[in-house]
Amino acid sequence: MSAVPERAPVTTRSETRTALDHLLTEIEHRNPAQPEFHQAAHEVLETLAPVLAARPEYAEPGLVERLVEPERQVIFRVPWQDDQGRVHVNRGFRVEFNSALGPYKGGLRFHPSVNLGVIKFLGFEQIFKNALTGLGIGGGKGGSDFDPHGRSDAEVMRFCQSFMTELHRHIGEHTDVPAGDIGVGGREIGYLFGQYRRITNRWEAGVLTGKGAGWGGSLIRPEATGYGNVLFAAAMLRERGEDLEGQTALVSGSGNVAIYTIEKLTALGANPVTCSDSSGYVVDEKGIDLDLLKQIKEVERGRVDAYAERRGSSARFVPGGSVWEVPADLALPSATQNELDENAAATLVRNGVKAVSEGANMPTTPEAVHLLQKAGVAFGPGKAANAGGVAVSALEMAQNHARTSWTAARVEEELTHIMNDIHTTCHETAERYDAPGDYVTGANIAGFERVADAMLAQGVI
């Protein structure tokens, strides 16, 4: 009888940490001038040493090295004409990061700050966020440095048509399914879908999500990211024996995520008192008047100072500054990346904040995250807390596949179930790896394990 070969010794956490540090150095070298991507990679990889030490099979086939390298990166020119006939040239991106769990899924962002590093950071985050939903979708992201603000509908249409003329060859309901993000709402999705249909001669409803409810979209999709973030925050509070009722909340931003975060906070008995945009922020002691905010931001496309002017004596506009200066129980950053820094976190802690839950993608700097966690603040990372948007996008794909539509009540019930499951998964995974209450570690490891298991099963590709 042949002898059974000895099993290789389990790699220690120290050895694993050293290997991950070398990989992070290599990532920075191979991806120069991409600080957002470096930050996202650091945030994930620095939490993986325990799982890689416990499960050395993940290290054998260069799995982590493959995970941090996108499967495909597409960069293209987007020429378009404005209403005066002038030709403009923007740059378009689609980074298809990982498809081990399903077709690439992630939004399109139209904003002057968009570059390859930003798209890669967003796509990398999307891998783990999508894995946490349990809905069989991979991670990707895209967009352009085009700014739709101040442009006419006709100009936005011509840009979207030019953008989709190139993008269409890289996407499909079984390949890559974009959605909206900053600067890409229902108007832009409509123009993009129309051009896709025109070019392909197919009514492929599942190729884009965030569509209008009358032509393949899902109810609750516009609300989903904000609603989901509040549901995750509520779950973190429940874990500590509290609830949202009567809690004062700070919300940054005044776009889609912020508006529906405010709506859900109010519905669950909290009092959201702030909103903001690039001009400054508003504090409303009575709580944000949602109808007025929607009128100004969604209909008039105005600035938040108009809210303070029309709201009355309870509200004041603060030019510049930061919403995090306002004392409150909860903070839900819902604007953009790295908006909540270490100084702001220190202010929140001094003012007695109990929980911070990320509605935007990576809105809290690493230094701020560490400070909040050290102070015992419940911290919900975006890849878990703001997964509600992509979760309902996946539910939209399911409805498209069945050629049906669900009621708003059913979609919201599914969303609530998914967000509670994500919270439970993150919480239990953190405890399993000796990091109780650390939702960052829990989210990163839980998402990683799901993707890694699929990658192992499918071989070195």
Domain ranges for the chain, please list them. 72-204, 224-385
| pLDDT at residue 11, rounded to an integer | 60
What are the structure tokens assigned to 298, written together?
């969604």
Amino acid at position 332, single letter: L
Q: Which residues are catalytic?
A: 141
Residue 294 counted as an annotated binding residue: no
Residue 73 counted as an annotated binding residue: no
What sign does the dihedral 171-175-177-182 (CA atoms) show?
A: negative
Q: Phi/psi at 9 (nearest 5 deg)?
A: -65, 145
Interatomic CA distance for residues 419 and 133, integer angstroms: 8
Taken as a whole, the chain contains a residue count of: 461
Residue 12 counted as an annotated binding residue: no
Nearest alpha-carbon partner for 279 in 245, 237, 323, 243: 323
42: number of Cβ within 10 Å = 16
Interatomic CA distance for residues 339 and 251, integer angstroms: 12
Q: Say whether 224-385 and 72-204 share the same fold.
A: yes
Amino acid at position 43, single letter: E
Residue 374 counted as an annotated binding residue: no
Q: Which CATH architecture has domain 72-204?
A: 3-Layer(aba) Sandwich (3.40)
Residue 386 counted as an annotated binding residue: no
- CATH superfamily for 224-385 is NAD(P)-binding Rossmann-like Domain (3.40.50.720)
Interatomic CA distance for residues 271 and 292, integer angstroms: 16
How many degrees, rounded to 5, is the angle at CA 368 between CA 362 and CA 374? 125
What are the structure tokens assigned to 114, written together?
């968009």
What are the structure tokens assigned to 338, written together?
């790295």
Residue 225 counted as an annotated binding residue: yes
Sequential pLDDT tens for the chain (461 residues): 444 344 344 467 788 889 999 999 999 999 999 999 999 999 999 999 999 999 999 988 899 999 999 999 999 999 999 999 999 999 999 999 999 999 999 999 999 999 999 999 999 999 999 999 999 999 999 999 999 999 999 999 999 999 999 999 999 999 999 999 999 999 999 999 999 999 999 999 999 999 999 999 999 999 999 999 999 999 999 999 999 999 999 999 999 999 999 999 999 999 999 999 999 999 999 999 999 999 999 899 899 999 999 999 999 999 988 999 999 999 999 999 999 999 999 999 999 999 999 999 999 999 999 999 999 999 999 999 999 999 999 999 999 999 999 999 999 999 999 999 999 999 999 999 999 999 999 999 999 999 999 999 999 99
Residue 180 counted as an annotated binding residue: yes
Output Rg (C-alpha) for the chain, integer angstroms. 22
Interatomic CA distance for residues 377 and 371, integer angstroms: 9
Give the 3-state secondary structure of residue 318.
strand
Q: Are strands 330-332 and 355-357 parallel, antiparallel or unpaired?
A: parallel
Q: What string of DSSP letters covers 85-119?
A: S-EEEEEEEEEEEE-SSSSEEEEEEE-TT--HHHH
Query: With 0-12 CB in 10 A as exposed, 13-18 as middle and 19+ as buried, what is 300?
Result: exposed
Interatomic CA distance for residues 271 and 288, integer angstroms: 8
